[in-house]
């Protein structure tokens, strides 16, 4: 119907037009952001005011937030600020998914950056992998954020490990019928992870939404929300994402 | 309405399909067909009518996928969690499935001509007996078709699929067909009923997986769109594919597996077919 060259030409044209549209969208969003906030690497008093102002309107409980961190695109300071914002917003678990493998190595750097930003913000931050870094809680009912860093090793390989242990009879997995049920496997798999609730929200940046192997067992009901198209992280898009999460309606199959 | 619709593609649509398929096309595309009930509500018809409209859309989509040259399509038709819906709606959905699988058997010549192979993935033991017989017949009758493989996730959840795969593997070790060291990522992937999708499309604006293909999406482009499933058009599909072409990670290399594992997998496949034959012969 169409000659090969013509098809190639039209195909290239379509992609060129889409590229152009995306570029325009990027320029537009950058201009809009520049107008309202200056680039910063600290949590400011105004950030906290913004969160406290909007928080009463975000009524849906968010216990566990996962951030798909890409160290090529996000600075340690970007990630640290999100920890503080989450602390202010009352989120109990913040996990980073380390897709490049560099964040786990730089955990201390992230810790120091979080501490630098935390000054004056009430609450407590606990690092699950580094209990010795955890500050002292003086018995007050201060809000606590638990930080985890997960990598692809915590995904499929952990499930594989679990199946292997069942096969070797190193753990006992009850089996009521011919086949294991999800509940029976879940009981065993829970022992292989730190005690974390299933994440309700995953935040990612950039045009591509992909789990990259993030905790396959735990993400069945997780909402995937884009923080920004151009990988920028600021208080406005963080609040925007919480609003969008608030609108998500879980039906649990019903 | 039949399974694969003819004459549903206009000249312009076909032109657009031809242009888009000049580039990389996903080799396996998955759909979460969400929004049938919202569509029904919007158009003030009952939810069952919405589900019928949803099925019609599926048959149109199959035709588009055939034209695009996509060899594998997986759809999420019914979750184990959906059994919790009202009895009336569950019965309605089961009747829809009965009706459609019966229709499929009547139109078998057409299906075979298109080369569509039907695979129903899920915990079939949860289905009503007559429906289980029907889907088993459909799978057996289309077993040797190879142009397009249509996986229908029915009485399915991703966690349940992983748990059933774990059962097969654990039993394989117990029967000395596998050693514990054989258990790895690749073996689990191949023991699962569904393969890895390259693109997953969810309609109606929801942005979660709802327990669908949890294991298989680690490298998948997830595409969420606001359109309701019964209103999904070929242009929505093409937009998803253009998004895929712009952002997809490179395809994964095929991994060779050892003879022991291959033998185990072959045996599992044989047993699966035996089980299906058993459903048909003595329900």
Convert the pLDDT of each residue in B57-90 to its tens digit: 998 999 999 999 999 999 999 999 999 999 998 9
CA distance B78 to B32: 10
Question: How large is the average pLDDT for residues B153-169?
Answer: 95
Q: Which residue has the tokens 């679990």?
A: A162
Query: Is B93 in the active site?
Result: no
User: Which residue from B107, B96, B111 is spatially nearest to B55, judged by alpha carbons?
Assistant: B96
> Tokens 């057409």 correspond to what residue?
B110
- How far is Cα B226 from Cα B207, in angstroms, rounded to an integer? 10
- Domain positions in chain B are 24-281
Alpha-carbon distance of A76 to A210, in angstroms, equals 22
Dist CA B109 CA A199 (whole Å) = 47
Looking at per-residue pLDDT, the higher value among A120 and A64 belongs to A64
Q: Angle of helix B259-281 relative to helix B158-174, nearest 10 degrees?
A: 110
Q: Which CATH number fits domain A42-247: 3.40.1180.10, 3.40.50.1400, 3.40.1710.10, 3.40.50.720?
A: 3.40.1180.10
- The predicted complex's ipTM stands at 0.93
The pLDDT-based confidence of A32 (bands split at 50, 70, 90) is: confident
Which of B22, B166, B210 comes nearest A166 by C-beta? B166
CA–CA gap between residue A13 and residue A173 (Å, rounded): 57
Determine the pLDDT at residue B260.
Answer: 93
pLDDT band for position A36 (cuts 50, 70, 90): low
**Which CATH number among 2.60.40.3880, 1.10.10.60, 3.40.50.1980, 3.40.1180.10 corresponds to the domain B24-281?**
3.40.1180.10
Residue in this structure with the two tokens 């040797």, named with its chain if needed? B144
Query: Which pLDDT score is estimated for A118?
Result: 84
CA of B237: how far to CAs of A158, A226, B9, B27, in Å? 35, 21, 13, 14
The Cα of A140 is separated from the nearest Cα of chain B by a number of Å equal to 37
Q: Which of B51, B178, B200, B238 is catalytic?
A: B51
Asked if A182 and B162 come within 8 Å (Cβ–Cβ), the reply is yes
Closest CA to B188 of B208, B215, B223: B215
C-alpha span between B75 and B39 (Å, rounded): 18
Which helix H or strand E contains A149, and what residues bound it? strand A144-150
Determine the pLDDT at residue A132: 61
Residue A137's pLDDT is 52
What is the b/e burial string over A45-77, where b = at least 16 CB atoms within 10 angstroms of the residue's CB? eebbebbeebeeebeeebebbbbbbbbeebebb
Give residue limits of the domains in chain A: 7-36, 42-247
CB atoms within 10 A of CB B147: 12
Nearest to B160 among A182, A210, A219 (CB): A182
Residue A25 has pLDDT above 90, yes or no: no
Q: Does A112 touch chain B (CB under 8 A)?
A: no
- Is the minimum CB–CB distance between B85 and chain A shorter than 8 Å? yes
Looking at residues B31-59, what average pLDDT do you find? 92
């Amino acid at each position: 119907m169409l000659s090969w060259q013509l098809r190639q030409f039209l195909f290239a044209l379509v992609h060129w037009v889409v590229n152009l549209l995306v570029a325009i969208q990027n320029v537009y969003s950058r201009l809009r952001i520049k107008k309202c906030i200056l680039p910063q690497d600290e949590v400011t008093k105004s950030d906290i005011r913004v969160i406290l102002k909007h928080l009463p309107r975000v009524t849906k409980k968010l216990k566990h937030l996962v951030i798909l961190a890409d160290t090529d695109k996000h600075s340690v300071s970007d990630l640290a600020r999100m920890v503080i914002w989450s602390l202010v917003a009352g989120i109990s678990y913040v996990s980073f998914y380390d897709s490049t493998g560099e964040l786990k190595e730089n955990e201390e750097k992230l810790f120091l950056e979080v501490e630098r930003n935390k000054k004056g913000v009430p609450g407590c931050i606990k690092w699950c992998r580094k209990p010795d870094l955890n500050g002292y809680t003086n018995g007050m009912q201060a809000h606590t954020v638990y930080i985890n860093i997960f990598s692809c090793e915590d995904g499929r390989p952990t499930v594989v490990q679990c199946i292997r242990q069942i096969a070797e009879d190193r753990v006992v997995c009850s089996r009521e019928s011919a086949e294991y049920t999800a509940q029976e496997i879940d009981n065993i798999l829970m022992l292989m992870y730190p005690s974390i609730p299933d994440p309700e929200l995953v935040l990612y940046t950039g045009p591509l939404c992909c789990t990259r192997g993030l905790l396959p067992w735990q993400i069945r009901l997780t909402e995937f929300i884009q923080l920004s198209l151009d990988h920028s992280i600021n208080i406005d898009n963080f609040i925007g994402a919480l609003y969008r999460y608030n609108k998500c309606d879980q039906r649990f199959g019903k | 309405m039949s399974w694969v619709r003819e004459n549903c593609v206009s000249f312009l649509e076909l032109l657009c399909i031809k242009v888009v398929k000049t580039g990389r096309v996903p080799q396996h595309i998955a759909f979460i067909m969400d929004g049938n009930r919202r569509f029904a509500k919007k158009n003030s018809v009952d939810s069952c009518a919405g589900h019928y409209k949803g099925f019609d859309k599926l048959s149109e989509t199959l035709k588009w996928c055939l034209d695009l040259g996509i060899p594998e399509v997986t759809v999420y038709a019914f979750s184990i969690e959906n059994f919790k819906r009202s009895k009336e709606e569950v019965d309605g959905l089961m009747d829809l499935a009965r009706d459609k699988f019966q229709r499929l058997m009547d139109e078998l010549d057409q299906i075979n001509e298109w080369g569509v192979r039907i695979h129903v993935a899920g915990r079939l033991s949860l289905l009503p007996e007559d429906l289980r017989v029907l889907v088993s017949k459909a799978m057996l009758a289309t077993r040797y078709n190879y142009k397009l493989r249509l996986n229908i996730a029915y009485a399915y959840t991703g966690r349940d699929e992983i748990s059933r795969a774990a059962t097969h593997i654990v039993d394989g070790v117990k029967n000395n067909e596998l050693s514990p060291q054989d258990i790895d990522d690749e073996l689990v992937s191949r023991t699962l009923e569904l393969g890895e999708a390259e693109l997953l499309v969810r309609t109606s604006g929801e942005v979660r997986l709802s327990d669908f293909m949890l294991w298989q999406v680690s490298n998948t482009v997830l595409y969420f769109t606001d359109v309701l499933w019964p209103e999904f058009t070929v242009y929505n599909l093409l937009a998803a594919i253009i998004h895929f072409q712009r952002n997809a990670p490179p395809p994964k290399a095929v991994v060779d597996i050892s003879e022991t594992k291959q033998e185990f997998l072959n045996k599992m496949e044989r047993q699966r077919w035996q089980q299906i034959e058993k459903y048909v012969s003595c329900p």
